[in-house]
Amino acid sequence: MKNKFGTAVTLGFALFAMFFGAGNLILPPFIGLKSGTEWFAAVSGFFTTGIVAPFLGVLTVVLFGTSFTDLGRKVNPLVVTVLAFLIMLCIGPLVAIPRTAAATFEIGIQPLFPDFNNILFSVLFFGVVIFLSVSKSRIVDIIGNFLTPFLILSLGILVVMGIINPPDVSHISELNSQQSFVFAFHEGYQTLDVLASVIFAGIIISAAIDKGYTNANDRFKITIAAGLISMIALLFIYGGLIYLGAHSGFPLSETVSRTELLLHISNAVLGNNGTVVISFAVALACLTTAIALTSAMGSFLEKLTFGKINYKMGVLLTCLVSGYFSVKSVEEIIDYAVVILGFIYPITFALILTVLFFGKLIFSRAPFIAAVTVAALVASLSVFQHFNLFPQSIAQINSWLPLSQHQLGWLLPSFLAFFIAAGFNSGRKKTSRQN
């Protein structure tokens, strides 16, 4: 077993890099631009959904097993497997992985080589991903020991230089403090990190076991230490990028391009070297996330098919599908991701919260199934709304749901269903004992 601090840093850096992909880089500056002088409230909102919520996902998995599918013991193995499959498609070849390639092309390649073909770039990008993903046992070390330090250094230079010498003064925002918090809270969903957290937790736990942390208590401690290190690193980078967005001097309009804003900030802070530095940072951020997600998808397909699709074949299939979708622009990928996220997020979050808070107190499956089912029913409203189905009925139902204006309409109904099912189950047990 290696020294605990060194292992925690390696795992923490790896987890940071897995989380810090395309969305994590392009969203914070836009949040800062919209929030202006209320940028600190925006940091708090993004911290909630972009850092704390994913950490709860990691915490839940390490408390109740070694992978997300272990939570099936609390709900239903088939239900959790189907949910895991949907999550993997979302954070894998349909949304997150293509977005890493698209963001790298738009921010890292196009400004330096305007005539470079995006299809050729996609082939090259996923060729590198395949090369670095085929050795499953070395994924965490490759990311944590080699790629992440360069990523943090390049982003750290941009953030520190921007704070010391901001490009412009922050403008007075149309959003007040509360509105800035809510806006950033909502934008945090787009990072996909709550979904990714329950999958990345399995990778980090597996790496901890490989490094000698086979005891459950030791494994819990080292994983939590890694999670805290990643949280600190994420807060520094997110906070810095939101601050730079608020002080960017970039014109605010309804058609702001997130990638153009990031390029503007890097050039304003670092001059002619800005494009090179941000290109390097984007390439590393997106590559590390793509490697982690591709590896996770390969492992998942191998486990799901009982080895019929082996790990290397899963990696290849993932890259082929991701490459197909990656030729779309970042904005296009974000647009079609909204409806998928609106359905998957509430279900996953409801499962995480109920298992985390009550998993060691309530052992019946019924309350957890009730919470997940109600979350799914409420989440389906967003799908109907997106396709403009039953608009008046959906609007009426949403007006009845507390917190629906914050995209949390599922929260109270799912917890209410949990407590009703738990009470009903407890009362039935008492009756059966009396009889």
Reported as a single tens digit per residue, the pLDDT across 306-355 is: 999 999 999 999 999 999 999 887 777 777 777 777 788 889 989 999 99
Tens digit of each residue's pLDDT (9 = 90 or more) over 63-78: 988 888 888 788 888 8
Q: Which of the two residues, 144 and 88, has the higher pLDDT score?
A: 88
The tens digit of pLDDT for each residue in 269-292 reads 888 788 888 888 888 888 888 888
Q: What is the number of alpha carbons within 13 Å of residue 263 lying toward its C-beta? A: 18
Entry pTM = 0.82
- 37 burial class (0-12, 13-18, 19+ CB within 10 angstroms)? middle
**How many angstroms separate the first and last alpha carbons of the chain?**
55
CA distance 373 to 71: 15
Spell out the residues 6+ positions from residue 212 whose beta carbon is closer than 8 angstroms to its own.
1, 2
Token representation of residue 315: 């990696």
The pLDDT score that the predictor gives to residue 222 is 92
Question: What pLDDT does 432 receive?
Answer: 54
Q: Please give the pLDDT value at position 239.
A: 94
Instruction: Tally Cβ neighbours within 10 Å of residue 422.
Output: 20
Contact status, residue 341 vs residue 189, Cβ threshold 8 Å: yes
Mean pLDDT, residues 119-140: 86
Task: Count Cβ neighbours within 10 Å for each residue of 295-333 and write b for 16 or more, e otherwise.
Answer: bbbbbbbbbbeeeebebeebbbbbbebbbebbbbbbeeb
- Predicted confidence band at 23 (pLDDT cuts at 50, 70, 90)? low
Q: Cα angle vertex 338, ends 336, 339, to 5°?
A: 85
CA distances from 20 to 280, 392, 415 (A): 14, 39, 31
Q: Rounded mean pLDDT of the chain?
A: 86
Higher pLDDT, 172 or 10: 10
DSSP string, 160-183: HHHHHS-SSPPPPPSS-HHHHHHH
391: helix, coil or strand? helix
Q: How many residues are listed for the chain in this entry?
A: 435
Q: What's the pLDDT band for 373 if we cut at 50, 70, 90?
A: very high
For residue 31, what pLDDT is reported?
93
Residue whose token pair is 């629906």: 404
* Predicted confidence band of residue 429 (pLDDT cuts 50, 70, 90): low
Can you tell me the mean pLDDT for 18-22? 78
Q: Are 227 and 89 in contact (CB under 8 A)?
A: no
CA-CA distance, 4 to 352, in Å (whole number)?
28
- How many Cβ atoms are within 10 Å of 42's Cβ, its own excluded? 33
Report for 201-215, 329-343, 419-433: range of highest mean pLDDT: 201-215
